Amino acid sequence: DIQMTQSPSSLSASVGDRVTITCRASQSISIYLSWYQQKPGKAPNLLIYTTSNLQSGVPSRFTGSGSGTDFTLTISNLQPEDFATYYCQQTYSAPETFGQGTKVDIK
């Protein structure tokens, strides 16, 4: 299985901050990397697919980049509704695997 490792596991930030979350794959996954946002008690919400494509309806302050084994999710101008847990997911080879999550909370 391809292991996905996110860093940091948690971070504290303020409204208006720029936040960067990193996801590293244990082997190359080309561009087959997605990002999800999950709020407590809710299903995950797809933010970005194939590394850098913004899902319809997702604000443009969310951007994704990377390729191969190293990927980044950046949230510019953090908004109150962005405090949540973020997961990366590889869909390069079965089984699909997720990172352990990064919790973004209020400083």
Partner 1 sequence: QQQLQESGPGLVKPSETLSLTCTVSGGSITSTYYYWGWIRQPPGKGLEWIGNLHYSGTAYYNPSLKSRVTISVDTSKSQFSLKLSSVTAADTAVYYCARVVWFQSGLGSHDYWGQGSLVTVSS
Q: Give residues in contact with partner 1 (CB under 8 A).
A: 1, 32, 34, 36, 42-46, 49-50, 55, 87, 89, 91-101
Minimum CB separation from partner 1 for residue 13, in Å? 21
Smaller CB separation from partner 1, 17 or 103: 103
Per-residue DSSP letters for the chain?
---EEEE-SEEEE-TT--EEEEEEESS--TT-EEEEEE-TTS--EEEEETTTEEPTT--TTEEEEEETTEEEEEESS--GGG-SEEEEEE-SSSSPEE---EEEEE-
Smaller CB separation from partner 1, 3 or 77: 3
Smaller CB separation from partner 1, 83 or 92: 92
